[in-house]
Every structure is written in structure tokens, then in C-alpha cells.
């Protein structure tokens, strides 16, 4: 007991910022961040060579990376929009706001809907065929209906993003409930659970991993349909910015819009993933044990 083991050096577990720094330092020791950098440089390099270096046919009409980046950081942009122009942030903010509203509505409706569909066979028998018929209809096909139903620019756009996101969330939640092992239901019954206990303590936590996978897909789908909707109708937003610069033949601005969209989309799905990891500590540890 009193003997110290020299090889094992037990320290207090770091918390908060110290833990973040520790994890960050640890990740610098793996290959992941370096491979990521190499990947990005390879992609940028190829893009540069194809468009600006060798000026290959088909590629030579596109704006090259040097051109795009110079414009992006130009305080006095040649084509009207760079990271110094307020309108740029207005487009981003408006799209983000729409996504937030659409994603929130879709999640608040889709998750309970999916949970009930998985939990109650009767409810599922009523609703599943409808879901399966509506789900494959491409979101662009809903545009005329959305414009007929709602006035203005804002509501139809949000409606379309919500719709697309809702189907994905519902289906994934339903699959999540179905993925739960029967043994857990049996154990819960054996321990004296009433149906509402089963719902709260088995159905909900058991389907969380699928729900969060679904939410990551659903926020992507929301961006996808939002931009499509903004291209068709709208006067602001990243989709509008891309379409508008295409119409005005300002291709550099268009590419800036596309890259911004990619970046914002990536951040939003990372946020969803983060929220998921917070809510599923048990899963984080399971994955850590598997070395992922």
C-alpha cells in the first residue's frame, strides 16, 4: 500500500479549460490534424493548378483560388461583396436564422412523432404510409405549393426547409426506436415499469444515438433545401447571394457564397454533434473504448 509505483503517475483529472487543452495537445500527437491539413492543401493545390496554373480547358472559365481569396479579404471588393461588407454578414445571418427556425420546428415535431411511431404500433400503422409517400417527393416539387400556401418570401422558404428536415428526423427517430434491444423492454417490464416508464426510460434514451445521427443529416438537408428555396424565391440569404451573383456574372462572389455555405453548414452539424455527445456520455465512453 505504502509503496509507490514509479511507472504509474496518478494525477488529478483535469477539468474545464485544462481538459480542453489536454485533449487538444493529445490530438496534436495523432496523425488526424496533419492529415486534414495535407488533404486541404492537396485540394487547394489541385484547384489552383487546374484553374490558374495550367488553365485546363473547362476549368479556365472558373474563378481560381487566388482570385477568390484576394476578393474575399479585400476591404474594397471589386464585385461588391467581401468579408468587409456588411451585406455579406446579412446574407449569412438571414440564412442562419431561417435554418434555426426550420431546424427547431422540425426537431420539435419530428422527434416526438418518430418516438410515438416506434412506440405505438397503432399510431405507426396510421402514419407510416403517409410518411413513406410524402418523403420521396423532392423538395423543389413543393415550391409551387409553398408559394400558394404562404405569402411573402420568408414563410415559404422556412416551410420548405422544415419539411425536408422533418422527414429525415422522423424516419431516423423511428429507426432509433426499432434499434433498441428487446431485452431492455423485458428488463424494464420485469422491474415493474408502466408504459410511460418504458417510454421515458427505454424508448427515449435508447433511440438517442439514432436521433442525433438523424439530426446531423437533417440539418444538412435543411441547408440544402433552404438554399434551393432561396434560389427560387427570396431577396436575402446565401442561396440568394449565389444565384444573384450568377445572374450578374460575378462568379468570384458566387464561389465566396458557396464556400461560406460549406463552412457554415459544417459548423452547424458540428454543433449538433457536440450537443449529442453532451447528452450521451455513455455513448462517448463506449466509442472511446473502441478507440474512435
Partner 1 sequence: MQQSDIKNKNNSADISSAEKSTENSASLELRNVCRGFGDEWSREEVISDFSLSINPGELTVLVGPSGCGKTTLVNMLAGFDKPDTGQVLLNEKLITGPGMDRMVVFQETALMPWLTAYQNVVFGPKIRNDLPGRELKKKADYLFEKVGLVEFKDKYPIQLSGGMQRRAELARAMINDPLVMIMDEPFRGLDAMSRELMQEFFVRLFEENRRTNIFVTSEIDEAIFLADRLIVLSNRPTSVRKIIDIKLPRPRELNVLSSTEAYKYKRDAMELLHEEALKNFKRSTPKADS
Closest CB to partner 1 among residues 273, 283? 283
Tell me which stretch binds partner 1 (CB under 8 A): 135-143, 198-206, 252-260, 270-278. 198-206
Contact between residue 239 and residue 226 where contact means Cβ atoms under 8 Å apart: yes
Identified binder of partner 1 from the candidate list 17, 31, 191, 247, rule CB under 8 A:
191
Closest CB to partner 1 among residues 158, 204? 204
Tell me which stretch binds partner 1 (CB under 8 A): 83-91, 94-102, 145-153, 194-202. 194-202
Binding flag, residue 100, partner 1 (CB under 8 A) = no
How far is Cα 211 from Cα 208, in angstroms, rounded to an integer? 5
160: Cβ contacts below 8 Å, ≥ 6 apart: 139, 142, 143, 146, 225, 226, 228, 229
120: cell is 405505438
Binding flag, residue 190, partner 1 (CB under 8 A) = yes
Tell me which stretch binds partner 1 (CB under 8 A): 16-24, 56-64, 77-85, 181-189. 181-189
84: cell is 468587409
Identified binder of partner 1 from the candidate list 193, 213, 233, 269, rule CB under 8 A:
193
Identified binder of partner 1 from the candidate list 79, 127, 145, 189, rule CB under 8 A:
189
223: Cβ contacts below 8 Å, ≥ 6 apart: 99, 161, 261, 264, 265, 268
Identified binder of partner 1 from the candidate list 139, 161, 202, 227, rule CB under 8 A:
202
Instruction: Provide the minimum distance between the beta carbon of 278 and partner 1 in the complex, in angstroms, as a whole number.
Output: 13
- Residue of 289, 173, 167, 150 lying closest to 225 (CA atoms): 167
Closest CB to partner 1 among residues 189, 273? 189
Print the binding letters for residues 271-290 with partner 1: x by CB under 8 A, - otherwise.
---------xxxx-xx--x-
User: Rg (Cα) of the chain, in Å, rounded?
Assistant: 24
In what helix (H) or strand (E) does residue 78 lie, and over which residues does it extend? none
- Residue of 120, 85, 140, 271 lying closest to 195 (CA atoms): 120
| CA 291 to centroid of chain Cα atoms | 24
Instruction: Provide the minimum distance between the beta carbon of 282 and partner 1 in the complex, in angstroms, as a whole number.
Output: 4
Helices (runs of H) and strands (runs of E) counted in the chain: 13, 0
Identified binder of partner 1 from the candidate list 75, 86, 136, 192, rule CB under 8 A:
192
The residue count for the chain? 292
- Tell me the CA end-to-end span of the chain in Å, nearest whole number: 35
Binding flag, residue 208, partner 1 (CB under 8 A) = yes
Binding flag, residue 15, partner 1 (CB under 8 A) = no
Binding flag, residue 205, partner 1 (CB under 8 A) = yes
Q: Which residues bind partner 1 (CB under 8 A)?
A: 181, 183-184, 186-194, 197, 201-202, 205-206, 208, 280-283, 285-286, 289
Amino acid at each position: 500500500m505504502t509503496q509507490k509505483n514509479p511507472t504509474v503517475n496518478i494525477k488529478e483529472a483535469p477539468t474545464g479549460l485544462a481538459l480542453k487543452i489536454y485533449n487538444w495537445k493529445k490530438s496534436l500527437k495523432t496523425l488526424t490534424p496533419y492529415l486534414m491539413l495535407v488533404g486541404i492543401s492537396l485540394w487547394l493545390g489541385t484547384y489552383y493548378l487546374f484553374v490558374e496554373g495550367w488553365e485546363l480547358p473547362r476549368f479556365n472559365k472558373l474563378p481560381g483560388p487566388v482570385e477568390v481569396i484576394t476578393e474575399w479579404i479585400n476591404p474594397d471588393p471589386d464585385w461588391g461583396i467581401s468579408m468587409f461588407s456588411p451585406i455579406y454578414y446579412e446574407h449569412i445571418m438571414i440564412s442562419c436564422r431561417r435554418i434555426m427556425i426550420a431546424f427547431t420546428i422540425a426537431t420539435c415535431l419530428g422527434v416526438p412523432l418518430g418516438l410515438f411511431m416506434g412506440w405505438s404500433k397503432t399510431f405507426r400503422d396510421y402514419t407510416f404510409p403517409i410518411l413513406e409517400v410524402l418523403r420521396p417527393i423532392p423538395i423543389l416539387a413543393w415550391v409551387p405549393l409553398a408559394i400558394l400556401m404562404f405569402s411573402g418570401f420568408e414563410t415559404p422558404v422556412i416551410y420548405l426547409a422544415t419539411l425536408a428536415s422533418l422527414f429525415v428526423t422522423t424516419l431516423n427517430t423511428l429507426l432509433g426506436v426499432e434499434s433498441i434491444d428487446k431485452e431492455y423492454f423485458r428488463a424494464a417490464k420485469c422491474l415493474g415499469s408502466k408504459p410511460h416508464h418504458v417510454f421515458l426510460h427505454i424508448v427515449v434514451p435508447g433511440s438517442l444515438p439514432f436521433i442525433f445521427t438523424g439530426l446531423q443529416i437533417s440539418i444538412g438537408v435543411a441547408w440544402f433545401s433552404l438554399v434551393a428555396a432561396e434560389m427560387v424565391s427570396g431577396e436575402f440569404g446565401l442561396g440568394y447571394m449565389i444565384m444573384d451573383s450568377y445572374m450578374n456574372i460575378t462568379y468570384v462572389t458566387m464561389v465566396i457564397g458557396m464556400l461560406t455555405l460549406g463552412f457554415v453548414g459544417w459548423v452547424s452539424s458540428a454543433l449538433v454533434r457536440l450537443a449529442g455527445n453532451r447528452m450521451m456520455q455513455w455513448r462517448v465512453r463506449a466509442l472511446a473504448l473502441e478507440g474512435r
